[in-house]
Structure 1
Amino acid sequence: MVVINPWSKRMVPVIGILTARKKDGTIAGNGSLFIELQKKLISLNGISFIFTLDGVQDDSINGFIFNPEKNSWEQINSPFPDLVYNRIPFRKSEEALKRNPFFTHLKEKNIPFFNPGFIDKSELYHLLKNHPYLHSFLPATIPANDKHRLRSFFNQFHSIYLKPAQSARGKGIYILEQDTENTILLRGVKDNNQFISFDHFWIEWETILKENNYLAQEEIKSKTYDGKRFDFRILAHAENDHYMVTGIGIRQSQMQEITTHIPSGGKLLPYQLLQTEDQDLFIQTIVEQIGQALSEQFGFFGEFSIDLGISQTGKYYIYEVNSKPMSFDEIEIEERKIDHLCRLFLQLTGYQD
């Protein structure tokens, strides 16, 4: 290993980006994001490196730094950074982090930890359900682990979403709906299953629902554009003790109606198609309220994204809040994200007012 301290000759903020390793031992995570953050930080007189927990030592960290001049990654040994940005991509790896003494080291050294972790859908629902303003924008939701309660919920709404409490990007989501008087249909992104009764559905799915902590959520009949349902993807960042909208995109379903996610066949539309002043004001309001609620409950959140829907009657619904937003396909939103993140890093480390 090359033992270097590339920032020892000048006073610059050092950002440590925490990620994890894949099963094959290679570094996981969004490499293009890490590279763009490094380039932007350098332009702002800062620097970053990536690392995993197995690289943490008592007084230093073994990691990797991107060198834009060589367009390559270099292995380094670094002092502890001024801030740690949590980009661990796996929930299991993050559970290991909670049991690791690394957290204690950060607290002892007064090093900010940017974003506590993934958000459990059940915990998020309870947080927002008890919020004086946000509670009215939630679809009805219950745990899907009790047969009689789930049957009653299904009989009430006739069409419900089933969502794993700890999933992202639309994985594992289904719609359970009354197909005919005598049959029930379970629709997924890639497959459909039919059951002759709720009892038969429960026999086959009880274990799956319980092991994956599924939630049941009423299906909101979504407003459409050109005959296809859509929802909003909102990116937000902390800024001077407040939370501001960084960008808004629209995702529209195409081949299936389960989810609008691009990897599942969704289509990207420009926000300007459906933009109004009242809607902009509403979105900014919920961004501020959600950001404050998350940080008060779980610890400082510097960024998050929101999946927001609008019903056929014009009512807004908060579907998801994601603590580690996916990359946006809109180039201008991605550019603003990089800029906002880096300036927030500098602010939190005391290098920028």
Structure 2
Amino acid sequence: MKTIYYSVHTQTWFHRDKGCTYTLGHNNHALSFSEQIPFLSFRVKERHGKVGPLVGILLSESSIPHLQKRQKRYIEMINSHLQTSGGIGIVFTLNGVRANTLHGYIFSEQNEEWIETITPLPDVVYNRMKSRSEEKSETFRQFIQWLHNHRIPYFNPCFFAKWQLYELLHTNERLRPHLPATVQVHTIDDILTMLHTYKHIYMKPNAGWKGKGIFTLTYTPTEEIIFERMHERKLLSRIDELNELYKLTEYIAQQAIDSDTFHGNRYDLRILAHYNNGTHTISGIGVRLSQTQQMTTHIPNGGRKIPYRLVKERFHESLLHTIVRECGLTLSEHLGFIGEFSIDIGRGTDGQLYIYELNSKPMIFDEPEIQTHGAKRLIAVFDQLSGFASS
């Protein structure tokens, strides 16, 4: 590896290897030679005179104050692993994009703080914007076009919507048996049809996350409808009551699976997956167990983590690998390059595996070993996309 430097005072990148020539970034910015005393130094990989990779990490503008207060531990961890492996990460927002440079923040391990920095164009961009509405903005659309024009690889392209995901995954005959029956809600009749068919259904916001807004409906033998959401259960006097509580056209209705249990509570797998040399593979598997309620297993809603080894024998791991591979393949074919995703998989009482959720921007895993391994796999994706992977 080589060492390059950044001067905060002159806002320039340089090296101190007399007689050598190096370039940095997608636009092959030539680094100058200087013997000045450097402020920041970085150990980087070198391939035929090009050093890096330089990775742009796109955040929402509202995330920057939290970043500067060191409250974005996932982003900080990625940068730490990047620097350890011989790369540089610059965190930026859409406001930091210029014609030939990025204005953003690089974490200084020496000073233990984020420092405002100007870099050449990145070799690859990693999208971690937190808002669906921001991704629908004209500014974001123009940025994606700008990346295309410069032929800068990027991932992931967008948040996943539940109905869009179902439609895409349903085109894959290998995945079809693992999808609970699902419909997009247009009218109350769509819900009634699902209830009459499956008796117990989940209602999920099409753009929801972390289990927010989820409720269930159960059709009883006496033709009553039980409504249940977090810490509330009641009989509906009429199905139209739902219109007073929710904007149902923003929901999907999904068959509720009779779930396998562990010590009497339902559970599901949280699988972290990354792209690796042409396919998608598992980076880690966590397990979430419901506790105070049986609706979701999300930890903020009362779920808890348990070690995968406790339920491992109930799963054929070759099938889990197949599901992950086919999900990555199908999504990349329709949505553009998918570098990482997480997937929630449940096991029915009949032993069948079901895909419950799939997220393009995985949440932080509570298992440190999964999060650490996932970060290393992410850096490997950066290397592959930028041409710095080991041969």
How high is the TM-score relative to the length of structure 2?
0.84
- Specify which of 37, 45, 53 is matched with residue 13 of structure 1: 53
Measured after TM superposition, the shift of residue 124 of structure 1 is 0.5
1:261 equivalent in alignment to 2:298:
yes
Equivalence for 2:247:
208
* Higher Cα Rg, which structure: 2
Measured after TM superposition, the shift of residue 4 of structure 1 is 2.4
Measured after TM superposition, the shift of residue 39 of structure 1 is 1.3
1:4 equivalent in alignment to 2:41:
no
Q: How many matched pairs? A: 348
Larger CA deviation: 90-99 vs 107-116: 90-99
Partners in 1 of 2:173 and 2:223 — Cα distance? 41
- Specify which of 272, 275, 280 is matched with residue 238 of structure 1: 275
Measured after TM superposition, the shift of residue 99 of structure 1 is 4.9
CA contact (8 A) 1:21 1:27 kept: no
Partners in 2 of 1:38 and 1:181 — Cα distance? 58
Q: 1:253 to 1:115 in 2, by over 3 A?
A: same
Q: Secondary structure at the match of 1:22?
A: helix
Equivalence for 1:321:
358
Measured after TM superposition, the shift of residue 2 of structure 1 is 6.1
Q: Deviations over 1:19-47 (max 9, x none)?
A: 10229x74679711111111111112110
Measured after TM superposition, the shift of residue 350 of structure 1 is 0.2
C-alpha RMSD of matched pairs (Å):
2.2
One-letter code aligned to 2:148: K
One-letter code aligned to 1:208: K
More strand, by proportion = 2
CA contact (8 A) 2:199 2:220 kept: no
CA contact (8 A) 1:249 1:269 kept: yes
Measured after TM superposition, the shift of residue 342 of structure 1 is 0.6
Partners in 2 of 1:180 and 1:97 — Cα distance? 51
1:151 equivalent in alignment to 2:192:
yes
Describe how 1:276-291 pairs up with structure 2 within 5 A: 276=313, 279-291=316-328
CA contact (8 A) 1:19 1:27 kept: no
Partners in 2 of 1:139 and 1:201 — Cα distance? 26
One-letter code aligned to 1:33: Y
Equivalence for 2:98:
57
Q: Secondary structure at the match of 1:89?
A: coil
**Poorly superposed stretches of 4+, deviation over 6 Å:** none
Measured after TM superposition, the shift of residue 69 of structure 1 is 1.1
Equivalence for 2:134:
93
Q: 1:89 to 1:321 in 2, by over 3 A?
A: same
- Specify which of 178, 181, 187 is matched with residue 137 of structure 1: 178
Equivalence for 2:16:
none
One-letter code aligned to 2:52: V
- Specify which of 144, 147, 150 is matched with residue 109 of structure 1: 150
Partners in 2 of 1:340 and 1:202 — Cα distance? 44
1:293 equivalent in alignment to 2:324:
no
Describe how 1:182-201 pairs up with structure 2 within 5 A: 183-198=224-239, 200-201=240-241
CA contact (8 A) 1:163 1:214 kept: yes
Measured after TM superposition, the shift of residue 62 of structure 1 is 1.4
Measured after TM superposition, the shift of residue 351 of structure 1 is 1.0
Partners in 2 of 1:165 and 1:124 — Cα distance? 10
One-letter code aligned to 1:132: E
Unaligned runs of 5+ in 2: 1-7, 14-23, 25-30, 33-43, 45-50
Q: 1:5 to 1:255 in 2, by over 3 A?
A: farther
Larger CA deviation: 88-97 vs 283-292: 88-97
Partners in 2 of 1:235 and 1:83 — Cα distance? 21
How high is the TM-score relative to the length of structure 1?
0.92
Partners in 2 of 1:115 and 1:44 — Cα distance? 22
Partners in 2 of 1:97 and 1:237 — Cα distance? 29
Measured after TM superposition, the shift of residue 249 of structure 1 is 0.9
Measured after TM superposition, the shift of residue 275 of structure 1 is 1.2
Unaligned runs of 5+ in 1: none
Q: Secondary structure at the match of 1:254?
A: coil
Measured after TM superposition, the shift of residue 182 of structure 1 is 5.9
One-letter code aligned to 1:4: Q
